[in-house]
């Protein structure tokens, strides 16, 4: 009997050599095929700039060599006779490698799809859609890897039903221990679904104000007007009043001014009409009212209300700037003087002489 005809673990040596040879040739063939396909698709992608080719190239490049090795071992095992326990273990390993590889491919596809669609949403100025897509992508990946984990455990003989029941009981304790983290996570979902603000919105939270840069799973990041980044816990953020200036359709502006007390009555009566004419001459404005409001300590006070029909703060400031300049010019033409803090002291002549005689 030759060496190749000796029996080893239920198979002749030449059978084992055949199985190993098949496994090596399969692995080599798979690697060569992977290299050739990736190279060919990469060349097409450079010429056509196709997103599908780029995705396929990326998926093939992410193919794990351990997965190819598991497939090759399974192919080689078909040539030999394995004990039932060995065959079952090899099948379980091959299935686990397949599940992990599929999960990696699907996860990458989800990332590709979410990134592409979110980019299109941002190009369309739909920040809400982009934020929702990012949340959907995270949930999809979480569900995917949970299913893969359960399938892998079931493949290795773990009672998944009992495990889920145990996790449900243990999950209560974990939830209590991680209630702050889970609170931020659910707050993040609430922000995505309810959309009190979006990326790019200018908001005020308490004493802080700035533009929303990123809405994460635990925190929201805001870029303040002075340049620093403010980081808020999502749960804490939703417990605070939020003023979203991006949702403003128009601005209601109230301002006051005073004129001196010796302004003639006919000119006082003409002031509201002049103010109305000046405001209505400005673009993006709607006049509401102008009234002689009250007698101040040193001025006759007027109150004016108008609306700026666009939410842009710079437009409001430009409009108010133009109104103030025109008021100054028109009042100068009409001989109306703006009031400023003054104090007039009246002394009665008889009272003054009496105080001098008394030594006061």
For the chain, domain boundaries: 3-177, 181-246, 251-334
Tell me the pLDDT band of 163, cut-offs 50, 70 and 90. Answer: low
The C-alpha atoms of residue 199 and residue 211 are separated, in whole angstroms, by 8
The residue-averaged pLDDT of 306-316 equals 90
Looking at residue 287, its pLDDT comes to: 96
Residue with tokens 């673009």: 283
**Is 334 a residue whose pLDDT tops 90?**
yes
Max avg pLDDT among 18-32, 102-116, 248-262: 248-262
| CATH code for the structural domain at 251-334 | 3.30.70.100
Could you tell me which of 254, 323, 321, 316 has the C-alpha nearest to residue 290?
254
- Burial group, residue 341, by CB count within 10 angstroms (0-12, 13-18, 19+): exposed
Q: Tell me how far apart the alpha carbons of residues 51 and 146 are, in angstroms, rounded to a whole number.
A: 28
As a whole number of angstroms, the distance between CA 291 and CA 268 comes to 10
Least confident segment among 17-21, 104-108, 323-327: 17-21
CB atoms within 10 A of CB 331: 18
Options 2.60.120.560, 3.40.50.1260, 2.30.30.60, 2.40.10.10; CATH for 181-246 is 2.30.30.60
Please state, in angstroms and rounded to a whole number, the distance separating the CA atoms of residues 272 and 291: 6
pLDDT at 60 over 90: no
Mean pLDDT of 8-13: 60
Of 16-20, 128-132, 204-208, 258-262, where does the model show the most confidence?
258-262
In sign, the C-alpha dihedral spanning 79, 84, 85, 91 is: positive
pTM over 0.95: no
Query: What is the Cα–Cα distance from 181 to 191, expressed in whole angstroms?
Result: 15
Q: Assign residue 257 a region: left if phi > 0, alpha if psi is -120 to 50, beta otherwise? A: beta
Q: What is the average per-residue pLDDT within 31-52?
A: 71
Sorted by sequence, the CB contacts under 8 Å of residue 242 that are 6+ apart come out as 196, 197, 203, 204, 205
Instruction: Report the distance separating Cα 160 and Cα 180, nearest Å.
Output: 29
């Amino acid at each position: 009997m030759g060496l190749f005809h000796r029996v080893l673990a239920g198979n002749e040596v030449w059978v084992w050599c055949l199985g190993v040879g098949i496994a090596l040739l399969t692995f080599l063939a798979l690697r060569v095929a992977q290299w050739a396909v990736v190279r060919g698709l990469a060349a097409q992608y450079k010429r056509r700039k196709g997103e599908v080719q780029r995705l396929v190239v990326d998926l093939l490049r992410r193919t794990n060599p351990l997965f190819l090795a598991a497939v090759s071992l399974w192919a080689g095992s078909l040539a030999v006779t394995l004990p039932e326990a060995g065959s079952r273990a090899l099948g379980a390993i091959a299935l686990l490698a397949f599940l992990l590889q599929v999960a990696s491919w699907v996860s990458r596809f989800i990332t590709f799809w979410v990134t592409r669609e979110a980019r299109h949403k941002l190009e369309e100025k739909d920040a809400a859609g982009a934020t929702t897509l990012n949340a959907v992508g995270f949930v999809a990946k979480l569900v995917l890897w949970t299913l893969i984990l359960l399938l892998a455990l079931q493949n290795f003989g773990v009672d998944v039903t009992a495990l889920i029941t145990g996790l449900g009981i243990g999950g209560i304790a974990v939830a209590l221990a991680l209630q702050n983290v889970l609170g931020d996570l659910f707050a993040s979902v609430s922000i995505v679904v309810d959309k009190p603000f979006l990326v790019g919105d200018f908001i005020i939270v308490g004493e802080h104000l700035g533009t929303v840069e990123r809405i994460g799973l635990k925190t929201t990041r805001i870029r303040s007007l002075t340049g620093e980044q403010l980081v808020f816990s999502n749960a804490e953020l939703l417990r605070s009043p939020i003023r979203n200036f991006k949702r403003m359709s128009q601005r209601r502006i109230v301002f006051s001014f005073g004129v001196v007390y010796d302004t003639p009555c006919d000119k006082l009566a003409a002031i509201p009409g002049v103010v109305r004419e000046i405001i209505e001459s400005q673009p993006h404005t709607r006049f509401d009212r102008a009234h002689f409001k009250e007698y101040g300590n040193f001025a006759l006070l007027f109150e004016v209300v108008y609306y700026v029909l666009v939410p842009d703060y710079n437009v409001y400031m430009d409009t108010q700037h133009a109104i103030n300049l025109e008021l100054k010019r028109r009042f100068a033409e009409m001989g109306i003087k703006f009031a400023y803090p003054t104090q007039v002291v009246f002394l009665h002549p008889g009272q003054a002489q009496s105080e001098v005689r008394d030594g006061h």
